[in-house]
Amino acid sequence: MNHTPFREALINLDALSANVQSLAQTIGTPNLMVVVKANAYGHGMIESARAALAGGATWLGVADIDEALQLRAGGIAVPVLAWIHAPDETFDDAIAAGITLGLSTVAQLNAVAGAVDRAAAGSGAGAGAGTGAVPARVHLKLETGLSRNGASEPEWPPFFAAAAALHASGAILVEGIFSHLSNTSVEDDLAQATVFERGLRAAAAAGLAPTLIHLAASATAVTVPALRYNMVRLGILAYGVSPFEDRSAADLGLTPVMTLRASVVATRRVPFGAGVSYDYTYRTAEETTLVLIPLGYGEGIPRAASGRAPVVIDGQRFVIAGRVAMDQFIVDVGQASVAVGDHVVLFGDPAVGHPSVTEWAEAASTIGYEIVTRLSGRLERTFVGAPS
């Protein structure tokens, strides 16, 4: 009998570093941000951040300030960009920790200026005197067609004017300008890039000269070299999951970082016609063996994958039988010899015979991003590889 932890996401940090190194060589920009938001897409933020840096990342990206502060608490001192903020965010803690702020509104610019003034007053220096974390480093976020956060084109004149005034005063350093693409098609991305270029010209006309320009994330960074500017943001590709429908991670020379696995915790021999799990959406077609796997939607296993998603048990492939429950699901292994404690792999590296994240995404009618990011609950993460 083989022994595997009860339920585990095995994270290969060497694979993550190698993926980042390979993508850095392919993309070739002087600055490379690896995004580690949402617990590094479910892979473990601190450990993944260190692995990304070992692979050549020069920046880290997160959604919010709390995530950025977790990186600092973990001893990570490299530049970190956070771009989604609470309506009443004061920015004091972020500025004290040297977090770079993605800002989208004049109100946010003013709030950052207020935090800089408070920090300067506390240090006995004037605003912009460079004491401690003053001035605040900011990247201006532009809305170019995704209809999410960012300053839209009619808002640019007051937004750029406020940023330029605060930059001139020494309260902030406008270090970058960025936006985000829809990835609907190359044509749609190029149309957004046209708007982005107008934004860059408007910023320059307002007297701003940011040194970092970034627009492309994983998909566009690979497919549209013209949109790389001097920095790209790598997200899902760093973790060896493809954002493309027609190209796998292996096609891109990348290795999946996560293997999701567990141990069989029970077996049961049942007759023909036995009902399986809630609602009896599956009934056995013969006398067969059912095995119980201790993973469910409490760990982030999608209920939508019920009856569809593949698993491998000791090298043999099967499909989930019936409904995924909160804590468990069942696999009908037929006449195969499966015992309590045997390995079960839900997904991992197809190169070694595992189902892929993409297969699970297709089974659940979603995308690979969601499959790995949603994993939580009682799931244990085990890290292997050099970075620590």
Query: What positions carry a catalytic annotation?
Result: 37, 278
CA distance linking residue 132 with residue 127, whole number of Å = 11
Q: Long-range contacts made by residues 272-280, C-beta under 8 angstroms, separation at least 24?
A: 276/321, 276/322, 276/330, 276/332, 277/306, 277/321, 277/322, 277/323, 277/324, 277/325, 277/329, 277/330, 278/322, 278/323, 278/325, 279/322, 279/323, 280/322
User: Could you report how far apart the first and last alpha carbons of the chain are, in Å?
Assistant: 31
The burial of 232, by beta-carbon neighbours within 10 Å (0-12 exposed, 13-18 middle, 19 or more buried), is given as buried
CA distance linking residue 160 with residue 11, whole number of Å = 43
CA distance linking residue 82 with residue 61, whole number of Å = 6
Handedness of CA 66, 72, 78, 79 (dihedral sign): positive
Quote the Cα angle for 48-98-381, to 5°.
20
CA distance linking residue 284 with residue 334, whole number of Å = 9
Closest by CA position to 164, among listed 121, 207, 215, 113: 207
User: How many C-beta atoms lie closer than 10 Å to residue 72's C-beta?
Assistant: 16
Quote the Cα angle for 11-16-21, to 5°.
170
Can you name the residues that pair with 259 across neighbouring β-strands?
10
In order of 39, 59, 109, 202, the CA distances from 79 in angstroms are: 18, 5, 19, 26
User: Exposed e or buried b for every residue in 31-62, given b needs 16+ CB within 10 A?
Assistant: bbbbbbbbbbbbbbbbbbbbbbbbbebbbbbb
